[in-house]
């Protein structure tokens, strides 16, 4: 059997094409996987709206707690001021 240069090139080209097809298949698989895992702009925007709503809710909750603490401090100050006024009044009456 006589092997010609054309036969050798034919086998070489077939092997090369097989490797190219395999590599293309691998690349297509990777691209499909990436596409499946990608988040669309709309999905991201929707998620962002949810996060912003959650942040707003936490801000409102914290604002309410801060207001409650402020009212408690104000009430304590008023009680302290009232007590101080009564003590001053009693001291004034005792010194008369």
* Domain ranges, ordered by start, for the chain: 1-38, 40-96
Q: Please provide the distance, in angstroms rounded to a whole number, between the alpha carbons at the two ends of the chain.
A: 138
Give tens-digit pLDDT for 37-87: 888 888 899 999 999 999 999 999 999 999 999 999 999 999 999 999 998
> What pLDDT score was predicted for residue 16?
95
Give tens-digit pLDDT for 9-43: 999 999 999 999 999 999 999 999 998 888 888 88
Q: Could you tell me the sign of the dihedral formed by the alpha carbons of 89, 94, 95, 96, in that order?
A: positive
């Amino acid at each position: 059997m006589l092997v010609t240069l054309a036969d050798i090139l034919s086998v070489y080209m077939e092997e090369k094409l097989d490797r190219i097809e395999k590599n293309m298949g691998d690349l297509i698989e990777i691209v499909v996987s990436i596409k499946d895992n990608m988040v669309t702009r709309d999905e991201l925007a929707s998620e962002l709206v949810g996060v912003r709503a959650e942040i707003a809710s936490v801000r409102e909750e914290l604002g309410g707690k801060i207001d409650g603490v402020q009212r408690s401090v104000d009430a304590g100050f008023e009680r302290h001021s009232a007590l101080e006024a009564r003590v001053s009044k009693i001291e004034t009456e005792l010194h008369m």
